[in-house]
Structures are given as C-alpha cells and as structure tokens.
C-alpha cells in the first residue's frame, strides 16, 4: 500500500493547503504556490522489444534540427524527473526561491515601564519571490540581552501589502501603566502588554465601553504630545481619549479641562534658541506643555514691557551660563532634566543633566553614546527620542545601528547601553 503523508507547504510548513488545478496547490497561510506529483505505486517497467529502424537518408541541415528537438525533449524530461518525488511537495521553480529569507529589523524602540526597560523589535521576513511577508514582535531585555517573548503581528501578507504596514501598525508608541498604545490609519487604536507584546484590545474595546462610539470609529489621530488620541466617531463627533486618565471627552469638555489645568507654577525653563539659558519662571502651564520659554517673553522682560501678565508673573535668569542646542525633557524631583551639547562644534559631547532652581546640578551624564546625537543634529535645538519610566529615562538613537541608553534619574548613572543592527545575522 502506498504511504500516505499529510501535505505541507514547502515554504512555511503549514498544512492549510488548497488545490488550485491539476497538480497545482497553494498555501493558505503564506500564499506560496507549488506542484505535487505522486509516483504511481502500481506502475511496472516492462522490457521493450527492439524496434527495427529503416535507415533514412537525412540531409545535414535536417540532422541539426532533429538533434535540437531531441535535446529539447531530453531537457523537458529531465525537468519532469526533478519534479517527480514520491509523496512530497516541491516548488515549481528552483527550490531556493521559495525559502524564507532571514528576518530583519523593520522598526526599533526601547520602552520603559514599571519594571524597567524593554526593547521592542518589529521583525520582517519575506520569501525571495516576494509572494508573502511576515511581521512579528520580538521583546528583548536590554540589560541581559535575552529574548523575553515573540508575538505575531497579524497574518502573513502578500508582497504588494509590504509598503502599507505602517497603516496597520505605526512606528510610534505611547506607554501608560505598562500598556503600549499604537495608533494607525487602518489598525485604529491598539493596546499591547509592555512586557509580553500580547495584544490586549483594539477599536472593539472602545465601541463596547463608550456609548458615544457604539456606531464605530471612523478615524483616529495620535496626539501623544498632549497625552491623548483624537477620535472621529461614526456619529460625526470629534472626541478625545486621554491615555493616562482613560477619559473620553468631547471637544468642549477637553477645552474646559485644559483651561482648568493651566495654573500658575514656578518652574525652570530653557530659552528657545541655539544659545539657551536657564530661567526661573512663574507662569501658567499644564501637564502637556514643554519647559521652553519663548524668546519674545524674555525680550519683554528686558524691556519691562510685559504684555503677557495674564500668563506670566515673573521671569528671571538663573545664571549667565549658556547651553548649546539645549532641549528640556521633564520636571523630576522639582528639578529640570535636559539635554545639551558640551560646545558648539560638531565634535561636541552630548550631556544629560539634572539642575535645580538655584542652578546647581544634581548630576551630569556624558555617556560616549550621546556624542552621536550631537554629530547627527542639524538644527538649533537637538531632537531627542526618549521615553520615561518611574526613575528611568531611555534615549533611543537611530542610525546604521540602533542604540538605546538607559539612565537612572536618581543617580544619573548609565544602567545599560543596548545596540541592535538592522540585520539579525
């Protein structure tokens, strides 16, 4: 009796296979196509009797044509022989064309939460024939360099969908209470567990929880700088979901909350120019505002002609020190955390610092990795990619090799430096 084996896709090993026609099959999982040809177990080979051939007078030119035809027939027979394997599926082309390529890093981020930092790698792999592409999440501990978990990001896609991945899963994240929010055009609002990568919810969760969204979400726009997401509902309303408080507010309610949050506070600010200075200001602000003070406000202070008295009560310089391309980050322990260049040259070092209201520094970190941030900067102020945990800041640095630096906010010491190339070789 012929041996019966379960048919598997030679590309990905899946058993979900559909018959197209004849000996043509297609994998339902990765969409690869292949041929299946079984040998007939009852086929017997019988010796053939010699056939007498009458000599035929053939001209040289015709001999050449006959030889060419014979070679073509032999070549075709050889190709059929290669594809005839007992009870096994083989690809219709050369075998390496159906193999999955080695995965590469499509998107890199190092995020921080209550348990410390975790690296999020979006990996991508595809077949050499570009007929299918897979995406998945790999989570890595940046301190031990060990893989924590891996999670698939949807089903494999056809190659033509390769350039639409950002519409399904965006390359920016917002972390709140160990939940990673991802907002994209087609994927909507998705929530993932920070330390496992498992998908927790999507648009369906919002539709069930909030009556205003029971008819569905038409459009979502991330406003991470204000800690919220703008949602356009199917009912025609513009709503705002606040990621930290988990409140869904109308536009009027959001404006009211924003105005109520704006209260007078005395904080440390940096002026907005290439030669930034530290100022102590008593002005109105809310949680989403940056710690930059406008140069126009400083000029009004100098001219004693402050027309913004309803927003600013006082401005005074902390010292005469100048900081090159300084960028404020956040308030920590009633001090200002900021980043700047050690001087105005391209060879300058990068400095992460924590300063109090009197101008005294709690600490300064000049990790050698920060130099790359300064050398690749082309503006008056440094653009910094970072995210914060309770007592930890993680700064992500892009380039030919992705890097992340984790710094303890209490001590100012570097906790880890993690490097990841785009290739996983």
pLDDT tens digits for range 141-174: 999 999 999 999 887 777 666 667 778 899 999 9
Is 395 within the bounds of a domain? no
Mark whether 236 and 183 lie in a shared domain.
Answer: yes
Pick 359 or 72 by higher pLDDT. 359
* pLDDT at site 414: 98
Instruction: With a cut of 70, say whether residue 5 has pLDDT above it.
Output: no
Q: In whole angstroms, what is the distance from residue 25 CA to residue 187 CA? A: 31
* pLDDT at site 326: 95
Residue at which a domain ends, from 202, 230, 259: 259
Is 137 within the bounds of a domain? yes
- Domain span at residue 16 reads 8-41+60-99
Mark whether 247 and 269 lie in a shared domain.
Answer: no
Mark whether 232 and 309 lie in a shared domain.
Answer: no
pLDDT tens digits for range 295-318: 887 777 666 655 566 788 888 999
pTM over 0.85: no
Q: For residue 245, what is the domain's CATH number? A: 2.40.10.480
Is 304 within the bounds of a domain? yes
Task: List, as one string, the DSSP characters of 67-135.
Answer: HHHHHHHHHHHHHHHHH--TT-EEESS-GGGGSBPPPEEEEEEEEEETTEEEEEEEEEEEBTT-S-EEE
Mark whether 123 and 251 lie in a shared domain.
Answer: yes
Pick 53 or 265 by higher pLDDT. 265
Edge-to-edge strands, sheet with 199-201: 174-176, 179-184, 188-193, 199-201
Instruction: With a cut of 90, say whether residue 348 has pLDDT above it.
Output: yes
Pick 424 or 327 by higher pLDDT. 327
Instruction: With a cut of 60, say whether residue 57 has pLDDT above it.
Output: no
Mark whether 93 and 110 lie in a shared domain.
Answer: no
* pLDDT at site 130: 55
């Amino acid at each position: 009796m012929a041996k019966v084996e379960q048919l598997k896709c030679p590309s990905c090993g899946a058993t979900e296979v559909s018959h197209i026609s004849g000996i043509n099959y297609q994998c339902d999982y990765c969409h690869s196509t292949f041929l299946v040809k079984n040998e007939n177990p009852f086929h017997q080979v019988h010796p053939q009797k010699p056939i007498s051939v009458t000599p035929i007078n053939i001209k040289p030119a015709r001999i050449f044509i006959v030889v060419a035809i014979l070679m073509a027939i032999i070549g075709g027979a050889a190709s059929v022989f290669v594809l005839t394997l007992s009870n096994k599926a083989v690809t219709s082309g050369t075998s390496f064309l159906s193999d999955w390529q080695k995965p590469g890093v499509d998107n890199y981020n190092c995020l921080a939460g209550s348990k410390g930092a975790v690296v999020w790698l979006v990996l991508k792999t595809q077949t050499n024939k570009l007929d299918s592409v897979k995406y998945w999440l790999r989570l890595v501990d940046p301190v031990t360099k060990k893989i924590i978990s891996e999670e698939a990001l949807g089903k494999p896609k056809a190659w033509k969908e390769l350039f639409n991945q950002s519409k399904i899963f965006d390359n920016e994240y917002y972390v709140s209470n160990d939940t990673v929010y991802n907002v994209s055009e087609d994927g909507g609002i998705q929530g993932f567990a920070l330390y496992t990568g498992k998908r927790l919810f999507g648009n369906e969760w919002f539709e069930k929880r909030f009556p205003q969204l029971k008819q569905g979400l038409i459009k979502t726009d991330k406003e991470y700088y204000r800690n919220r997401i703008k949602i356009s509902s199917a009912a025609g309303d513009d709503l705002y979901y606040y990621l930290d408080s988990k409140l869904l507010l109308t536009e009027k309610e959001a404006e009211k909350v924003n105005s109520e949050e704006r209260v007078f506070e005395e904080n440390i600010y940096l002026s907005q120019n290439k030669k930034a200075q530290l100022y102590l200001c008593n002005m109105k602000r809310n949680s989403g505002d940056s710690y930059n003070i406008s140069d126009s406000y400083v000029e009004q202070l100098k001219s004693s002609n402050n027309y913004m008295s309803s927003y600013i009560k006082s401005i005074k310089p902390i010292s005469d020190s100048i900081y090159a391309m300084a960028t404020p980050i956040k308030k920590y322990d009633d001090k200002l955390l900021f980043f700047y260049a050690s001087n105005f040259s391209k060879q300058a070092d990068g400095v992460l610092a924590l300063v109090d209201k009197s101008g005294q520094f709690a600490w300064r970190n000049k990790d050698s990795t920060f130099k790359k941030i300064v050398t690749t900067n082309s503006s008056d102020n440094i653009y910094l990619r970072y995210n914060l945990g309770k007592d930890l800041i993680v700064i992500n640095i892009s380039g030919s090799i992705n890097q992340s630096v984790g710094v303890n906010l209490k001590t100012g010491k570097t906790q880890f430096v993690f490097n990841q190339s785009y290739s996983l070789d």
